[in-house]
Structure 1
Amino acid sequence: MTFMPYRALLQVAVISLLFIILPSYATQQVKVYAYHLKPPYLIDVEEEKGLYFDVTELLNRFQPMIRFKLEYMPRKRLNRDIEQNTLDGLIMGVSPVWFRDREQTKLAWSNAFMNDRDEFVSHVKTPFEFAGPSSLYSKTIGGIRGYYYFQVAPVVTLEKATLVETGTELQLLEMVVKQRLDVAVISRATVNYLVAQKKHWQNDIHFSQRPHEFYSRAIVATKSMQAVIDTINNLMRDPLFDKALNKLLADYHITDKDLEIVR
């Protein structure tokens, strides 16, 4: 009978133990979905450019246990997955109101990572100030095809205003600059990004003092992923992470000065 030397036996035992232990310490892979297919949130999905890709990378950089991977997915499919309880990842850049979870009891929510607001944007030569539904009467209003604007829709339904729909926010803003619309609804972060690319538009834009809507953007998941959301919330309380996040937002022309919540 041949006996294995003690040292070799010990090596086999250690290797076997590692195979048992290491999987429990393996990095967890977590998908993150985003559906805002517009700048600065998702600039180029194929090239993985945009704010949401960079926020995802920031989450990866500040902790080693979870590897987040961002993907684009249409809102309708995400809604279906939530309804059927088959959502297998997080959703970035959303508000509890949009998912009928104002009290944040149905889903697991992170702390907000930025403020945002949908603006009424007009030309400085014909500045528009929103003062309730009647201020929209007789206006030609621009919006994105398929979007629902709760301040605008009732007025359009009453045929008191005309809604012109386009495919992109860039088209909307260009129509405002060329005075082909009385007013358009565009998120402030998107306007800031587009105007930074086309600086000659800067002096043509007027924002209503009262916006269409103000909100914060957070990350959401089903309750089964509460531990992952807790990890994200812990990161957001880290001063170093907060500093890096604020710098990232500023790089995309998103600042508290422009995006503070005004009630």
Structure 2
Amino acid sequence: MKTWLFGLLWLGCWVPLQAVEQVLLFNYQQKPPYIVDEAHRQGLYFDLAERLNASLPAYHFVVREIPRKRLDYLLSRDQMHGLVVGVSPDWFADAARHRWTQAFIDDANLLVSRSAGEVSRLSASSLDGHRLGLVSGHRYPELKAVLRHGLVRREDAASEAANLERLMRGWIDATVVGVRTMEFHVQHQPELRQQLFIAEPPLYRYRRHLLVPDGYAGLLPELNRVIAQLEQDPVWQTRLAHYRE
């Protein structure tokens, strides 16, 4: 009798766990505040996964890193087993092939140079003849015309943080940094306010979405429902404020 009851209890616990479907949120931009500490699951992408998990208990959303080249390869062959988090359709030549959620956050790209020195305080119109640090594999629609002319030398690095370091060492003359990422770095390194010059207006304003491959089309309405509620979600708003304090 006890064995029979134990079996029923075990089955009752096992069935709901098996019913939860894991959904990977692939990310190719390893930068704060979106990814702050991957080992400790800190950053806005992890916070977004947590809000999705809280609102959609039939799924378990997990953030995973993926190189941009690998991402493009899988998308081109319809082999993407998961969603892509924090992206804009402008960054994908085949954007029309995919589904996109509502935007969950606004962002912008800033042109950053040194505030003093022989080469400093650059603008988009004064980049000719200079070294521009960008992130390898990333598309910059706002710089397409500038780079096409060949008068600006593109020098790639692995991240925006690496480019900021190269800028301060004088190895490049300017770089492009997301406004939320710049805010995060300045928050933790206040001296950057005096050392760096940020050209106005921003190079490019955009919104971040989730890219939804065809195999996950059924999730789109539920994803949009949760994203639409984020503006009034106190937990999400607290996390946004945390990274800007």
What TM-score do the two structures reach when normalised by structure 2?
0.80
Identity of aligned residues (%): 26
Q: Following the alignment from structure 1 to structure 2, what is the Cα–Cα distance between the partners of residues 161 and 180?
A: 14
Give the letter for the 2:122 counterpart.
Answer: F
Q: Following the alignment from structure 2 to structure 1, what is the Cα–Cα distance between the partners of residues 219 and 86?
A: 16
Q: For structure 1, list consecutive stretches of 5 or more residues without a partner in the other structure.
A: 1-7, 255-263
> 2:70 matched to which residue of 1?
77
Offset from partner CA, 1:47-99 (integer Å, 9 cap, x none): 33322112111211233222111111112222222222221111100111222
CA shift for structure 1 position 117: 1.4
Mark the structure with the bigger radius of gyration: 1
Q: Following the alignment from structure 1 to structure 2, what is the Cα–Cα distance between the partners of residues 31 and 144?
A: 24
Q: Which secondary structure does the structure 2 equivalent of 1:238 belong to?
A: helix
Offset from partner CA, 1:130-185 (integer Å, 9 cap, x none): 24xxx321223222234344454654554423333333322322343455543211
Provide the aligned length of Structure 1 versus Structure 2.
237
| Aligned match for 2:54, one of 53, 58, 61 | 61
Relative distance call for 1:48 and 1:136 in structure 2 (3 A) is same
| Aligned match for 2:26, one of 16, 20, 33 | 33
Please tell me whether the aligned partners of residues 130 and 210 of structure 1 are also in contact (alpha carbons under 8 angstroms). Answer: no
Please tell me whether the aligned partners of residues 45 and 72 of structure 1 are also in contact (alpha carbons under 8 angstroms). Answer: no
Q: Following the alignment from structure 1 to structure 2, what is the Cα–Cα distance between the partners of residues 152 and 239?
A: 32
> 2:122 matched to which residue of 1?
128
Q: Following the alignment from structure 1 to structure 2, what is the Cα–Cα distance between the partners of residues 57 and 83?
A: 29
Relative distance call for 1:176 and 1:60 in structure 2 (3 A) is same
1:96 aligns with 2:89: yes
What TM-score do the two structures reach when normalised by structure 1?
0.76
Please tell me whether the aligned partners of residues 85 and 210 of structure 2 are also in contact (alpha carbons under 8 angstroms). Answer: yes
Q: Which secondary structure does the structure 1 equivalent of 2:36 belong to?
A: coil
Q: Following the alignment from structure 1 to structure 2, what is the Cα–Cα distance between the partners of residues 235 and 100?
A: 27
1:206 aligns with 2:200: no
> 1:163 matched to which residue of 2?
154
**RMSD of aligned C-alpha atoms?**
3.2
Q: Following the alignment from structure 1 to structure 2, what is the Cα–Cα distance between the partners of residues 180 and 34?
A: 28
> 2:242 matched to which residue of 1?
251
CA shift for structure 1 position 120: 0.5
Please tell me whether the aligned partners of residues 104 and 230 of structure 2 are also in contact (alpha carbons under 8 angstroms). Answer: no
